Structure formats: C-alpha cells, structure tokens
Structure 1
Amino acid sequence: MIIKNAKLIYLDKIEEGSIKIENGKISKINPEVLEDDVVIDAEGLYLSPGFIDVHIHGAGGRDTMEGSLDAINTIAKSIAEHGTTSFTPTTMTVDRDEVKKAIAAIAEAKSVGTDGANVLGAHMEGPFINGEMIGAQNPKYLAAPSIEAFKYMAGDHEDAVVSVTLAPEVPGAKELIKYLKEKDIVASMGHTKATYSEAMEGIKCGVCHATHLYNAMTPLHHRDPGVVGAIFDSNITTETISDGIHISYPSLRVAYKQKTLDKVLLVSDAMMACSMPEGEYSLGGQKVIVKNGAARLENGALAGSILTLDKAVKNVKDNSSYKLHEIVKMATYNAARHCKVEDRKGKLQEGYDADVILFDEDININRVIIGGKEIFNK
C-alpha cells in the first residue's frame, strides 16, 4: 500500500511526500510507485504517526476496571476512530483484587491484540496515593505503598505494567519508587500533597514523570513551590489534559514554555463516557454525571474527561502559537518514549510500525491504519 500526496508530519518539520507500507511496517518514504501497488491518494491531508494515550480509563461505554478483554477491545476500537493507535489502559483506586483482574486483562490484550488501538501495557493510577488529593479516586480503597502490595496486584504480569501513579510523600512510597525504577517501570507522582522538597526527594529516588500536571497536586506558590514547582524545576516529564476544563489555556502555555514540548505528553484521562452521549456513568464504582462536556462526581469533582487525542491536539493548536508538528510530537513520540517503544512507534520512519493516521487542517480524522491494516475510513 502506498499513501501519496500527503503532508508528512516528522518530528522537526512537515513535508509533502508519500509512504509505502508492507508487512505492517513503513517500508519506504517517498517510494517509486509500481504497477501493482495499491495507492491511496491523501489529496493533501496530513499524514501523522498515530496518537499514543498513556492515561485513559475507558471509552465507548466501557471501563478498564471491568477487567475483561472485551471491555479493553471496545475501548481500543472506540479511540482508534479518533486517531489513537496505541494506549495504556489505566486502572483506578479500587479493591486490590479488581486491580489484579484488570491488569491480567490488559496483559492479555497486549499479548493477543485488539480490533483497534494497540495495548502497550497498564498504567496503575493508585491505590498508593494521598487521600487529601483524592480527585475522583475512591478513598475507600487507598493502600499504603509497598513492594508486596504492588507485586500482589501486578500478579504474573509485572512486565505488562508501564507506569504507576503514586504520592511520593506517603510512608513506604520511596522504597516502592526505587523498586519500580529497578524494574524499568515509570514511577509517576500524582494525587499527591507533597511539598516541593518531598517531591524533589521522590525524584531523587526515581520518580521520572508526573500525572496530569496541575490536577490533584500541590500548586506553585512563590514561597511554597509545591509539586508543580518541582515539576518545573526538574527534568522529569509530565502530561496535560488539554480539554480547556482541567487546565486553563494560559496555564497550559506557561507549562509548555517552562517544560518545553519535549517533556510534555498529551493525554485524555478519558472515562467510559468518551464518545458517548451525555448522561450518568461510573468511574471506580462512583457515579459520574457528564454534562456540558465535563465529567464530574456528585460532589462536583472532575472525574476524568471525555476528551480524545485528536481534540487535544486541536485545542492546543487553536490556543497556542506552536507549529502543528511540535504539537503532534506531544501526542506521539513523547508518549512512545514514555512507554519505551520509541524504537518502533511514534514517528514516520522506515522500519517503524505502520500505525499512521490521515487528518485535515481541523484535525478531523479521515483514515486510521494500525499495523498496516485500515481500521477506520471516514
């Protein structure tokens, strides 16, 4: 298959060109067209690596915490239509046996594949977090951080855990952070009440990422820099929910300027109502009301989002002066690096997986190809 007449989005530029896809890989950039080639004319659309979402709880009416291959598969199909070609299904602070079941289902989906986006592994958000920064997590199931508790929940699938969100100031967290670092699992700080110095101590122990910047963490104050200050004052990566609800656009621009676009990932933090009508849903066993584009618990706390990554890219494009290829990098290559798959995903390069998408100036997704197979065609 050859896709021609496209604007190819590279890490550092956008250029007109074409790609050849063979055996699930990008075999050639700007190939010669042969007589028997199947040719798709992109008619000037953008051709980008597929988006990678490292923080997503659900979509299409299904939730990662259902702990089934069927639920993960539905989520994978639903988000693929919005240009997401890989993701890490994200667990919640719930009963530890439910977390264990969900991680087993994620590991199965990673191993057998889905009918949509690739599963790269699990993101465990909680239960090792601070109850004073609970957000939409369930306080009933908070657990003290320990290697033993983590191993129990990961079960036989520790190698399928990509990242763990925890609060570095909670007793026991430092030991777990060091263990995760040894195992090459991303330790991310989030849902945390840490002071600046506690956050920096966590970074010294191995925290290398921060979950949903600004949300559920101590803010930046000029005499008390908090977790946000530690993120800005270190070289760890972070992520933003760029829906205009979780973070105002001026605060987003400040973060991108401070961290640089190399250090930020665009994530959805979407829950089961993503790509569904507004109404009542649930997250981590708690009732969620989706109204006016926001998902909230009954107490008004934001409960994830209904964002998709195509919309996140569009929101940043419409509310900043960054170039499109710079924004796309935050939704592709930076996330691939986070998941340690940047040697095969996240950019347009010969030999890389043929997870590619076509979209227009308004980031409306036109076609989605995953592993060389067309998954969606508008």
Structure 2
Amino acid sequence: MRNLYLLNASIVLEDSLLQQGFIHIKDDKIEAVGGMANCPSISDNDQLFDCIGKHYVMPGMIDIHVHGAAGFDFMDSSHEAFEGIAKALAKEGTTSFLATTITNPMEHTADTLKSLENYSAGSSDLAVAEMLGIHLEGPFINRKQKGAQPESAIISPNAQVFREWQELSGNAIKIVTFAPELDNQFELLAELKKTGVIPSMGHTDASYDETMDAIAHGVSHATHLFNGMKGMHHRDPGVVGAALLHDDVHVEIIPDGIHFHPDLLKLIVKMKGLENVLAITDGMRAKGMPDGEYDLGGQQVTVREGTCVLSTSGSLAGSIVTMNEARLNLARWLNLSIHEQIQITSLNQAKRLGLLDRKGTIKAGKDADIVVLGQDGEVELTICRGSIAYERSGAFS
C-alpha cells in the first residue's frame, strides 16, 4: 500500500480555498483532505512533498480534444506514441484526456481505434495522464469547412460505420465531431444519443436554421468554437450564433490567442456562462517540440512562433498550446479566479464526460489527479492516479 502526502498546501477545493492543508493519497485515491492540525501521523516509508512556498494545489486538468504532443500523434497508432503523448501531457498539468483522431482512410482509422483499445486495456502505468476515451473528429464532416482535415478521406455521416468503430474501440468513443447538416434523417445523431456519445457539431457549414434543427434533435456540443464552422453574419447567425444562443450547447475553446481574438472570450462567457465552456488544446505532435515541419493526418504542417499551419494552404492546423498555458491565458484575459480557472479546465470536463464522481475536484474518494503550481503559475508537480508523473527540476529539493 502506497501513501503519499502533500503538506502545508493551499488546496483549491470546489467551493473554497483550504490554507495550510494536507492531502493524504493512498494508492491511486485521495484518502483524506484537511487542515495540518488534523494531519495523520506519517511513517518513514511514506512519500512527502512539502508545499510551503508553492502557489496552489489544484485538480489535474482534463483535455477532451488533443491529437498529439512530443513528436507523437494518436494516428501513429502505436503504443510508443500513445505512451509518449500521455507522458508529455502530464508535464503540462493534464492528468487525463480524450485521444483525438483526425480524418484518415477508414482502414487506418479502424486500426487506430483498435490500437487505442489495446493500449487502454493493457496499460498498467499510472504515472502518466489517463486516457478516458476517444474523441472521433471526422471523417463525417463538410468539405467546405475541412480546415486541416484531409479532404480525400472525408465521408458522409454513417451510423453503421460508427457502430463498427465503436465496437473496435471497446466502446471508448465519447465524443463524435460531425457535420449535422449532412446527416441524413439525423441517423448518426440518433445512434450517438442512443449510445450515450456526445454529438458535437464541428467542421460544419450548416446555416443557423439547420444548426438549430440539429440542436433540437440532440446536438449538444460545439467543437473548437469559431474554427471549422460557419461564422456569424447579420443575415445568418450560422453555427456560431446558434451555439452561443442555445443554453444546452457546450462549447470548446482553444485559448492560444491565435484561433480567435482573446476579447471574444468575453462574449462567449457572457453568452454561455462559465459552466458551458471547456478549454481544450487541439494539440498536435509539435507541442513541446522546436519550430519546424511536422505531419498531421498525412499533411505537412509548418510550426513557427506558436502558430501551426498547413504548408500548402496556410490553414490553421491544431495548436501547440499546453493546458497550463491555456489556463494562464484565460486567467489573464478574463480575470478569472483560481476556482473559475479550474471550472473551465477540469470541473466542466469531468461533468461533461459523466466522471464527476472520479475527476474534476479534490475530494476524499476521488482519483488522486493533482497538480502543484509554483509562484510563477508553472506546473511543479503532477500526480496521476496517485503516482508522480512529473516533477519540475529542483522544485522540491
């Protein structure tokens, strides 16, 4: 039995800040949280981290839309790639994620889904970010809004194909990004709703009326708002307008200062409320790597000074922002409190995936997914399911 203690910590709980607190972790769960006066006795065999001088101890962040990092992509379809991404994500304070695919030939997508199922079933390493499932982005999208998705592999929404892929994945697909205006009789949408998968509109050229019809039939999520969708026009509010106006739609945002103007965040939060906004990275394999040329879905991407674009067309092609950078950007642009930062990077995601009993907050009985921030706001320690996944050099020496 492993015991780990965080001591003298400023712990960000769901509704309060516990100063001079402790967290007792036993194996992969949070055993107890409280003030130092009530800290249990500690044995010589227990692992200790003294958090005096640290800024906050907060829940691990959850990235529900990430394609890769550290030179790897989930479409590489290998255990080495999956493990490499999971290790890299922990360094940025991400303790769990949805492995996100990109439009590719159907055979390759099927192989990737099966490989991800094998990885999830066979992985015993807790000292990495946890794969919570799969976000299937494409191939059921609109060519007019393909963005960086390879056009040659795009197909119409198909419920039967989804059923086959969901079986291959071991029922791991949690979100499907698709163009609802192309979904004949909303057959795919009906299948997603029936199986509890989140239907997300993305890479869609739907009009406002078509979008509102899709929402009425059950679409409840918008993939990377503003990007890969018809924007607002005064005679057609488009997908963006419908997503902002409808209370039941949750929206993903990429807070990198590149995918949309930061001031639009104020509009998003004013319209949606923080409870319906989910920060994502849309990270690709160049995240954490030097500028240069990289592959995304079989296409060449040029990465320079924080911007990723298709080398052929100049279209944005994912990002290299980390979840912690996204959190810091949101805090600065929106003047968010630490509790509001956690809501948009952890709590909302846990709720959206139906995992609030395990993830999203620091509470006894939940998974020990915890991040310690230094005074500069940078990640100094990441604990994934009770195991040390990342420790900043010299942070606790």
2:260 corresponds to which letter in structure 1?
I
Are 2:126 and 1:117 aligned? no
Describe the superposition over 1:214-255 as per-residue Cα deviations: whole angstroms up to 9, x where unpaired: 111111223311111111111211110000000111011211
Task: Confirm or deny: 8 A CA contact 1:100 1:155 kept in the other structure.
Answer: no
Are 2:51 and 1:42 aligned? yes
In the other structure, the counterpart of 1:266 is 279
Give 3-state SS (helix, strand or coil) of 1:120's partner. Answer: strand
TM-score, with normalisation over the residues of structure 1? Answer: 0.97
1:351 corresponds to which letter in structure 2?
G
The whole-number CA distance in structure 1 between the counterparts of 2:240 and 2:284 is: 25
Describe the superposition over 1:122-155 as per-residue Cα deviations: whole angstroms up to 9, x where unpaired: 1000000000001100010111111112123334
Task: Confirm or deny: 8 A CA contact 1:241 1:269 kept in the other structure.
Answer: yes
1:78 corresponds to which letter in structure 2?
A
2:366 corresponds to which letter in structure 1?
Y
Q: CA deviation at 1:104?
A: 1.4
Of residues 3-12 and 341-350 in structure 1, the stretch that sits farther from structure 2 once superposed is 3-12
Tell me which of 292, 302, 321 is aligned to 2:316. Answer: 302
Are 2:12 and 1:9 aligned? yes
Are 2:35 and 1:26 aligned? no
Q: 1:200-215 residue pairs with structure 2 within 5 A?
A: 200-215=212-227
Give 3-state SS (helix, strand or coil) of 1:98's partner. Answer: helix
The whole-number CA distance in structure 1 between the counterparts of 2:17 and 2:374 is: 14
Q: CA deviation at 1:196?
A: 1.2
Of residues 205-214 and 154-163 in structure 1, the stretch that sits farther from structure 2 once superposed is 154-163
The whole-number CA distance in structure 2 between the counterparts of 1:102 and 1:321 is: 40
Identity %: 38
Tell me which of 77, 82, 93 is aligned to 1:67. Answer: 77
The whole-number CA distance in structure 1 between the counterparts of 2:178 and 2:133 is: 17
Are 2:154 and 1:154 aligned? no
Unpaired segments of 5 or more residues in structure 1?
Answer: none
Q: CA deviation at 1:173?
A: 6.9
1:73 corresponds to which letter in structure 2?
E
2:240 corresponds to which letter in structure 1?
V
The whole-number CA distance in structure 1 between the counterparts of 2:294 and 2:111 is: 21
Taking only aligned residues, the RMSD between alpha carbons, in angstroms, comes to: 1.4
2:135 corresponds to which letter in structure 1?
H
In the other structure, the counterpart of 2:302 is 289
Unpaired segments of 5 or more residues in structure 2?
Answer: 393-397
2:180 corresponds to which letter in structure 1?
P
Give 3-state SS (helix, strand or coil) of 1:193's partner. Answer: coil
TM-score, with normalisation over the residues of structure 2? Answer: 0.92
Q: CA deviation at 1:35?
A: 3.7
Distance 1:292 1:119, change over 3 A: same
Task: Confirm or deny: 8 A CA contact 1:110 1:119 kept in the other structure.
Answer: yes
Task: Confirm or deny: 8 A CA contact 2:22 2:39 kept in the other structure.
Answer: no
Of residues 249-258 and 220-229 in structure 1, the stretch that sits farther from structure 2 once superposed is 220-229
Aligned length: 378
Of residues 126-135 and 23-32 in structure 1, the stretch that sits farther from structure 2 once superposed is 23-32
Are 2:239 and 1:227 aligned? yes
